[in-house]
Structure 1
Amino acid sequence: MTIARSPVLVDCEDVAWFRDQPEAARGAAAALGRRIGLDEQRTAQLVLAVAELAGNLTKHAVDGSLLLRVLRPHAESGAEAAFGVEVIAVDSGPGMADIPAALRDGMSTSGTLGIGLGAVQRLADSYDIHSRPGTGTIQLARFWPRPAPPAARGEPAVAGVTRPISGEQTCGDAWAVRTDSGSLPTVRGRAPSAGPRGDGTPPHGPSAEGRPSWSALTNPLSQQSRSTVPRAAGARPEAPGRPGPDDARTVSTGRTTPVRAASPGGGEGLLVMSCDGLGHGPQAALAAQAAVQAFRTATGRTPEKVMEEVHRALRGTRGAAVAIARLEPDGRLLFCGIGNITAALVTTANRTTLMSHPGIVGHQMRQLCTYEAQLPAAGVLVMHSDGLSERWSAADLAGLLHHPPAVLATGLLRQAGTRRDDASVVIARSPR
């Protein structure tokens, strides 16, 4: 079975998180819209939406945060690059019992006109909301220039979120995704953010390769060395080919089998990477950046071969924990993991943990092993760094599985994320 067309994928760069800073979020949105080329009217609409979302977090939410980031869909050869802005608002309560009512004009619980959420939904090119009383609310809104690019009409098959450790603006976690059909790599993904300018607004400038220059978009802070203690990147001390204690207690949706000579299937597959640079801060981000670049340009077609290229690229850096998966159009999934990246196949009822092996990519690895599994049509692949606890279950994500991958990733970050380390989550759906 082959796919008729390529899945929708976009480059994604986290620009800044805002907590209890509605004015700063509005100012950053205005500057960001102008710098990526949104016209005056579209920028004003973006600012209005950010003002509503940030204001609601301040007035109603518990532990609310707002994320601004730049999107760029993969452009056809010769097509002009198009940039958009994605806004994600997340909180831990109190949640909404009646979402349709909350979206109706005139609905208010605080004495205002109550047109905020309905206005955000109308102004955005795409909008999604998930809310549960007692748990909290997640909202996603995307704003594209006019006319909107084709990617604005579809939902990306892969998305993730990253968040730096408390007190840092530079994140040492990263994720990336690209398609593979046996030709030269088609690059898509997310490079680790170097943090916003002092005013939270990045300048704009494409790279020589035609992709957005994230260092230019975010105007990196100086890469001064900071005192950081690299943490161990090894996974649980398990023998190759044998499940560890955590794997034994997971409920499996299918067999996860080591394969000696994994081969790509027919059609266009998706390669997805999750990376956690050792420690945190600028040096961890440099390692993650090197991993992303190597992944983007790798010629290997299987996770094991791509891992070898990433390993060579990370020599001379701190190294990283890395997990790489390949999703085939027929539902097969090939997986290779080194270090403490958690990877699992998740449905509404089950979570199947995929096997990773101890090591530090760029420094020391055991003999690589690729595992094969079957991704259920209604399931997702979840990969996250150890900035999230592993103490989550399929039930925690059951109500989110039909939402966009970015919303699902944000929900898991809220559920299991800690602020004692950089954190990242990437979610991938089957390309079927």
Structure 2
Amino acid sequence: MIRSTGETWIRVEDASAVGAARRVAETLAASLGFGVHECGRVALAVSEAASNLVKHAVEGRILIRPHARPAPEAPAVVEVIAVDKGPGMPDFARALRDGYSTAGTLGVGLGGIARMASKHEVYTLPGRGTVIAMWFTSGTPPAFQMSGLTRPIGEEIVCGDAFACVDGPGTAVAMLCDGLGHGELAAQASRQAVRTFQEHADLPPAALVERIHRALSGTRGGAVAVARLDRDSGMIRYAGLGNVAGWIVRADGRQGMISVPGIAGHQIRTLRDYEYAAPPHSMIIMHSDGLTDRWNIATFPGLTAHSPAVVAATLLRDAGTRRDDASIVTMKVTP
């Protein structure tokens, strides 16, 4: 189960943020049972990434969180995502070399980060910014096929949006809820949606959205969408209520999925499942209206080849608005 809990976003604009990011990462690693050496490795990599943001980036932020275990016996994973709107890296291969730096690229220490992380990915666009994702674990990092991010409005600590995902044998299911308004009351509605999803994730999407609608009675309510993917056939069943966008995304374009007007917990129309065929190597993306729907995947060359976490972080950075809570879920159609 993947859900939007335990996330810590840190704005990295001056040197004081480097220590804050390091402490959060080290504390999380220790709480997950990492040894002293592993905790130090996580802390050093995060310090390096944060220092790079301070020196070279614009609007730098770091997300630090535990990644859900695909199975109870799987090793714990610390996930770190550094996002910026800086100059990007025109010569990425050169930036991986130890000691390479320029005043205009995010490159210091990238080679060291690559060695310290159990797994890492970098997506960079010259003039638009860089996303660096790092995963730290004592074992082999799993191949992540689903991910999601939430980000609260402005300086709020609590996000009113939430998501949850289940990736089972041959079937993947994702739910996203945009709690009405902002702050704790919106978050209460979204948390209730997550709990209901966890209890009834095996239901068809429309039936599950109906259950969530009933469960949100007495809360502020929210917009809700559920997507169920059959990986063997590539068929998607989708049901959406309210202002949640659902897309089937290819490298060269996207297809919208239908959400009907309404507010879960308050106003609802008759729901039905809509079925779509997803081509191989496409992605399912759902997001709240905290992201504008005017993004164009064709302006992000090569992005769909990256992990769901990197795709989510890149779109949240470029399509997200600071005037609303924001959430996004991404799912690979073909493992």
The TM-score bracket by the shorter chain reads: over 0.9
Match of 1:104 among 97, 107, 126: 97
Residue aligning to 2:173: 271
Higher gyration radius (CA): 1
Residue aligning to 2:9: 17
Deviation at 1:24, TM superposition (A): 1.1
* 1:119-268 equivalent positions in 2, closer than 5 A: 119-144=112-137, 146=138, 148=139, 152=141, 154-179=142-167, 268=170
Deviation at 1:307, TM superposition (A): 1.1
* 1:9-408 equivalent positions in 2, closer than 5 A: 10=2, 13-19=5-11, 20=13, 21-76=17-72, 79=73, 82-109=75-102, 116-144=109-137, 146=138, 148=139, 152=141, 154-179=142-167, 268-298=170-200, 300-329=202-231, 330-408=233-311
Partner secondary structure for residue 413 of structure 1? helix
Deviation at 1:351, TM superposition (A): 1.3
Deviation at 1:11, TM superposition (A): 5.4
Structure 1 segments unaligned to the other structure (5+ residues): 1-8, 181-266
| Aligned-partner residue type, residue 16 of structure 1 | T
Q: Aligned partners of 1:35, 1:409: CA distance in 2, in Å?
A: 26
Q: Aligned partners of 1:46, 1:75: CA distance in 2, in Å?
A: 23
Q: Aligned partners of 2:324, 2:331: CA distance in 1, in Å?
A: 23
Deviation at 1:160, TM superposition (A): 1.1
Aligned-residue Cα RMSD (Å) equals 1.8
Q: Aligned partners of 2:299, 2:181: CA distance in 1, in Å?
A: 28
Contact 2:258 2:274 in 1 (8 A): yes
Deviation at 1:363, TM superposition (A): 1.3
Runs of 4+ displaced beyond 3 Å: 9-14
- 1:299/1:391 Cα in 2 relative to 1: closer, same or farther (>3 Å)? closer
Q: Aligned partners of 2:34, 2:2: CA distance in 1, in Å?
A: 18
Partner secondary structure for residue 93 of structure 1? coil
Q: Aligned partners of 1:363, 1:49: CA distance in 2, in Å?
A: 46
Residue aligning to 1:425: 328
- 1:85/1:161 Cα in 2 relative to 1: closer, same or farther (>3 Å)? same
Deviation at 1:73, TM superposition (A): 0.8
Contact 2:3 2:163 in 1 (8 A): no
Q: Relative contact order, CA 8 A, sep 6+: which one is greater?
A: 1
Contact 2:52 2:108 in 1 (8 A): no
Deviation at 1:110, TM superposition (A): 5.2
Deviation at 1:14, TM superposition (A): 4.4
Structure 2 segments unaligned to the other structure (5+ residues): none
Q: Aligned partners of 1:300, 1:311: CA distance in 2, in Å?
A: 16
| Aligned-partner residue type, residue 403 of structure 1 | H
Residue aligning to 1:260: none
Q: Aligned partners of 1:66, 1:350: CA distance in 2, in Å?
A: 29
> Aligned pair count?
328
Q: 1:43-66 deviations in whole A, cap 9, x for unaligned?
A: 001010111100000000011111
Q: Aligned partners of 1:325, 1:17: CA distance in 2, in Å?
A: 27
Q: 1:194-237 deviations in whole A, cap 9, x for unaligned?
A: xxxxxxxxxxxxxxxxxxxxxxxxxxxxxxxxxxxxxxxxxxxx
TM-score scaled by length of structure 1: 0.73
Deviation at 1:132, TM superposition (A): 1.2
Partner secondary structure for residue 424 of structure 1? strand
Residue aligning to 2:315: 412
| Aligned-partner residue type, residue 288 of structure 1 | S
By percentage of residues, which structure has more strand? 2
Q: Aligned partners of 1:418, 1:12: CA distance in 2, in Å?
A: 19
Deviation at 1:74, TM superposition (A): 2.9
Deviation at 1:328, TM superposition (A): 0.8
Contact 1:316 1:362 in 2 (8 A): yes
Q: 1:390-430 deviations in whole A, cap 9, x for unaligned?
A: 11112134421001000000110111101111001111111
Deviation at 1:179, TM superposition (A): 4.0
Deviation at 1:175, TM superposition (A): 1.1
Q: Is 303-312 or 87-96 further displaced after alignment?
A: 303-312
Deviation at 1:13, TM superposition (A): 3.2
Contact 2:290 2:327 in 1 (8 A): yes
- 1:64/1:285 Cα in 2 relative to 1: closer, same or farther (>3 Å)? same
| Aligned-partner residue type, residue 175 of structure 1 | F
